[in-house]
Structure 1
Amino acid sequence: MTARYEDRMLRVLAHIYDNPEGDLSLDALSDVAAMSRFHWHRVFHAMTGETCAQAVRRMRLHRAAAWLVQTDRPIAGIANAIGYPSQQSFTRAFLAGYGITPGAFRRKGELCPPHLHVRKGDYPMHPIEIETHPARRLAAILHQGPYVEVGKAFESLGAVLTGRSLWAYVRGMIGVYYDDPDAVPAAELRSDAGAIVTGDAVLAEPLEERQLPPGRYVVMRYKGPYSGLAAAYRHLYGDWVPQSGEELGDHPPLEIYLNSPMDIAPEDLLTECLCPAKVAAVTHGAGR
């Protein structure tokens, strides 16, 4: 089933090449890929080793390089044709990519690709299965900023649950991660520090109610320090999903924390990473 995801990659890359001056935002490219915006960039990055922004910049600059060498189009016109608002911004980007200004590149007359710093490694494998999960009600506190700092929101959540005697209604701790940290600046990342609560729990500010949908989920079981989750997700999105036949649903990934760093050593932490799955798989490589 890898071919399905390869077709998506090729379709998106062709779209970037054919529309260098167009809207090449993450949302626009996820529409071209016909894939949820919550998962598209994670899959693209894990499969190709470069972010969408890097791919867009690389392909725009490569088209510009070809025009510089093969045509006499004005540099300002080339800048506009590949989506740069000014010749100055284009020159800065070209210099960063090629180590030479557009004018000097044209005079040199040798076409070559921009310098790349793409890394796609082998990522550690973790057990992955398909499970059906019920709807869940969350008491959540929104966190904006680096994901590594979400612990602050969990501390606030715990204090509120304690102060309002709500722990009796709690059935687990969960994080919801709305943005891809490889595509969104750290200061703008959005996540929820949440507690799964029963229906009769009364929630009020600063707690926000969230409803997580029921259905089929891809579940990766991870054991180890939270710092290793990024590499685990690379395996999930870059290796397992493309080979699985699963279509990921339109909801961000979740993490269910089965124990706490307050009383467990980092190497013994247990995390279930969940991604919604749209339809029954044709084939899948669960447990790879």
Structure 2
Amino acid sequence: MKKTTAENYRQRVIRVIEYIHDHLDDDLNINLLADVAFMSPYHFHRIYREMARETLNATIRRLRLQRAAVELISSTKPILRIATSATYGSPEAFTRAFTNQFGETPTEYRSARRHSKANEPFVAMLPTAREEYRDMYNVEIVDFKPVNLIGYSHQGDYMEIGRTFEKLFVYAASHNLLSDSTRSIGLYFDDPKSVESKQLRAFAAISVADQMDLPETGEVPESNRIPGGTCVSLLFKGSYAELEKPYDWLFGHWLPQSGYEAADFPPFEEYLNDPKDTPPNELLTRINCIVTRA
């Protein structure tokens, strides 16, 4: 089962690469490509990056530049037209990107290879060498009970979500919403290694007993809910700045071999101690992902 599941993940990522190659002029957005892979867009970025060894945007950029290289050799199209076709807004931006990938400017590349043939068929492949993960983690499969939440949306660097939590706790304390059973939870909608820092989306939340009507004073939090179901849970001990290491391992190594699929709900973290009075290397974070059987 595990081997079959891992191969299934690989074939779905290959299908995405082939789709990108065949639709380089289209709007290749995350939701469309996640649909091609039959994966949730909340998790697709991470799985793709770990299996392809590059981000989704890097693949799109690389394949568009490879097509541009073919056009430089096999056609007489002006470089500006080729740059536009590769979705670059100016010849200067195209020249920088092309030179970075090929080590030559487009003009130099075309001049040196004007009589070459560039009609080899495209074959989508993934790296054969597997990523070596230095750290391994213990994963539990748990029956997660639904949790009602209130909180604030956060956009920007995930390392700055603390200020959103601070605002939330001030509101919750002033309205007597905190108790010993209150849980601190963050929902994370994007992969920080694939999405620009300023575009990252998250939700800083605390648990509440029931969906409630909040007092219309100040900046009222939004309501949200984590559904119940089978859940993959990984306990990480260490600084918040190191959380990407267990994420990479979970989505790049454990999940493709597990026999499970990530459900269409974002990964979420539960913070088990208080960073105000806990040394960074003693912080406990539980990384959770709702899953279904593959």
**TM surpasses 0.5:** yes
What are the residue-to-residue correspondences of 1:1-288 with 2, within 5 Å?
1-84=5-88, 87-109=91-113, 122-168=133-179, 170-199=181-210, 202-204=213-215, 205-277=219-291, 279-281=292-294
1:236-281, Cα deviation, whole Å (9 max, x unpaired): 111011111211111111001111112222222111111111x225
TM-score normalised according to structure 1 size: 0.86
Distance in 2 of aligned mates of 1:182 and 1:209: 28
- Percent identity between matched residues is 38
Structure 1 stretch displaced more, 130-139 or 183-192: 183-192
Distance in 1 of aligned mates of 2:90 and 2:286: 47
Structure 1 stretch displaced more, 48-57 or 179-188: 179-188
Distance in 1 of aligned mates of 2:293 and 2:22: 34
Distance in 1 of aligned mates of 2:170 and 2:131: 41
- Once the two structures are TM-superposed, the CA of residue 82 in structure 1 deviates from its matched residue by 3.9
Instruction: Count matched residues.
Output: 273
* 1:123 to 1:201, Cα distance in 2 relative to 1, 3 A: farther
1:162-219, Cα deviation, whole Å (9 max, x unpaired): 1111113853110111222122221222211111111175534422111111111121
DSSP 3-state at the match of 1:39: helix
TM-score normalised according to structure 2 size: 0.85
* 1:81 to 1:143, Cα distance in 2 relative to 1, 3 A: closer
Structure 1 stretch displaced more, 200-209 or 251-260: 200-209
* 1:223 to 1:169, Cα distance in 2 relative to 1, 3 A: closer
Contact 2:45–2:190 (CA under 8 A) maintained in structure 1: no
DSSP 3-state at the match of 1:142: strand
Distance in 1 of aligned mates of 2:85 and 2:168: 50
Distance in 2 of aligned mates of 1:179 and 1:200: 26
Distance in 1 of aligned mates of 2:157 and 2:178: 27
| Root-mean-square deviation (Å) | 2.2
State the AA in 2 paired with 1:141.
Y
1:87-117, Cα deviation, whole Å (9 max, x unpaired): 5543343133223221210111178xxxxxx
